[in-house]
Homo-oligomer: A and B are copies of this chain.
Amino acid sequence: MVKFLPFAVAALIAALPVSAVAECGGLRGTGDLGLVIERADGAVQVVDTTRRRALCTVTGLGDLSHASLVFSRDGRFAYVFGRDGGLSKVDVLTGTLVKRVTQAGNAIGGAISQDGRLVAVSNYEPGGVRVFDAATLEMLADIPAIAADGSRGKVVGLVDAPGLGFVYALYDAGEIWVAEMGKDATAPKLTKFTGIGRLPYDGMVTPDGRYYAAALFGEDGVALLDLWNLDKGVRRILDGYGKGEQPLPVYKMPHLGGWSTAGRLAFVPAVGRHEVLVVDQKTWEEVGRVAVYAQPVFTTARPDGRQVWVNFAHPHNDTVQVIDVPTRTVVQTLKPGPAVLHIEFSPRGEHAWVSVRDSDEVQVYDTRSFDKLASLPARKPSGIFFTARANRVGY
């Protein structure tokens, strides 16, 4: 459910052995492929999760700091959302850049529709959402984020809600919009929720596609929208979650994510605390806290929901901790190395792939024994994305 990568200072490009090999292009299944973002190089590396190796590198994708991507429903193509407004379509199978359009001046993530026909991008400048034909990257709809007060601002937290359309938040104005994409994608139907709270800075959808949650930077709490009951409007949950009351300096605003399916619990990084909050997804109330090593950034649930892996803010970002969900205790502390930016599980959860930016590697762990199985060279890796995302809700 992790949608965005942490903000981070630009890294120096060091003189490193090139990790690229050239094993892309042959007839093969795409179910065990993935992409690793090499942020400093504007490149993505294609990886094989069965053999645990890099296959090839695709370059020329522009500024990939804070980049994310989604996959086509056949798993062959990735749509990479660059910070510079670039939208790149990469052929994962052949390792080639199919097309790249600069669709805005400054952008932050995107989503693909449930049927795979549409790709939407969330833009800061000009503020709004633009929707593209997934096959051609032709722009089909341009939805400026003009708030109720007439101002235009940044869009964040864009997701696809199954059977409904794209959902996102207006950062400056504090609104949540639902854009229903009917048969005519050039004419989305907009439903707007205003006054949802100050400065929503991130959003996510629960794995069942039902709830959209937007974290607020400007006040305590999280705004929650029941996408199956839009009439009920947005409500506030988790008062005390937000920025207002933190007892420690906040090094980094944590992202939403890591919603466990073990029982009905969500694991949410606390802001400015060395804790992970445990939230009951039925009542949306906090039901517990787990003490962790430092300020958590991402919480990522293993696909079976039995473990939640946590990474941390600088200067403790060399560490990963594993929470055992049934007992709500930390059962393992790993030290992958400097600047752990992202964790991605293999689709059935046997392995965790961890990007370690400042040691230029991606590490693969066995999630049962916690043995390190492999280390793959990668240049300043950040996000790791496996094709199984194509088949899940909320991307």
Binding site for B on A (CB under 8 A): 27-33, 49-50, 71-77, 92-94, 114-116, 162-163, 207-210, 228, 261-264, 282, 303-306, 326, 347-350, 367-368, 387-388, 390-393
Chain B residue at minimal CB-CB distance from A112: B348
Partner of A262, one of B28, B116, B210: B210
Check A114 against B162 for contact (C-beta < 8 Å). no
Check B30 against A31 for contact (C-beta < 8 Å). yes
Write out the residue numbers on chain B whose beta carbons fall within 8 Å of the beta carbon of A76.
Answer: 28-29, 31
Q: A93-B29, A326-B228, A350-B162 in contact; A304/B210 too (CB < 8 A)? A: yes
The 8 A-B pairs of least Cβ separation, nearest first, read A29-B76, A31-B75, A29-B74, A347-B391, A388-B391, A32-B74, A29-B75, A29-B30
- How distant is the Cα of A155 from the Cα of B392 in the complex, in angstroms? 33
Q: A29-B93, A31-B387, A162-B349 are in contact. List 13 more A-B contacts (CB 8 A).
A: A28-B76, A29-B75, A31-B31, A31-B73, A33-B74, A114-B349, A115-B350, A163-B367, A208-B262, A208-B306, A210-B304, A261-B261, A349-B393
The interface centre, meaning the residue of A29, A49, A262, A305 with most chain B CB atoms within 10 A of its CB, is A29
Chain B residue at minimal CB-CB distance from A76: B29
Write out the residue numbers on chain B whose beta carbons fall within 8 Å of the beta carbon of A93.
Answer: 27-29
Nearest-neighbour CB distance to chain B for A264, whole angstroms, equals: 5
Partner of A347, one of B282, B348, B350, B392: B392
Nearest-neighbour CB distance to chain B for A205, whole angstroms, equals: 10
Q: A391-B388, A391-B391 in contact; A350/B114 too (CB < 8 A)? A: yes
Q: A304-B209, A304-B393 in contact; A74/B350 too (CB < 8 A)? A: no
Chain B residue at minimal CB-CB distance from A351: B115
- Can you identify 23 A-B contacts, CB atoms within 8 angstroms? A28-B76, A29-B75, A29-B76, A29-B92, A29-B93, A31-B31, A31-B71, A31-B72, A31-B73, A31-B387, A75-B75, A114-B348, A114-B349, A114-B350, A162-B304, A162-B348, A163-B349, A208-B306, A210-B262, A210-B306, A348-B391, A348-B392, A348-B393
Check B263 against A27 for contact (C-beta < 8 Å). no
Write out the residue numbers on chain B whose beta carbons fall within 8 Å of the beta carbon of A261.
Answer: 207-208, 261
Check B32 against A73 for contact (C-beta < 8 Å). yes
Write out the residue numbers on chain B whose beta carbons fall within 8 Å of the beta carbon of A262.
Answer: 208, 210
- How distant is the Cα of A92 from the Cα of B93 in the complex, in angstroms? 16
Write out the residue numbers on chain B whose beta carbons fall within 8 Å of the beta carbon of A75.
Answer: 29-32, 75
Chain B residue at minimal CB-CB distance from A391: B347
Check A73 against B347 for contact (C-beta < 8 Å). yes
Nearest-neighbour CB distance to chain B for A283, whole angstroms, equals: 11
Chain B residue at minimal CB-CB distance from A369: B163
Partner of A31, one of B74, B207, B368: B74
Write out the residue numbers on chain B whose beta carbons fall within 8 Å of the beta carbon of A31.
Answer: 30-31, 71-76, 387, 390-391
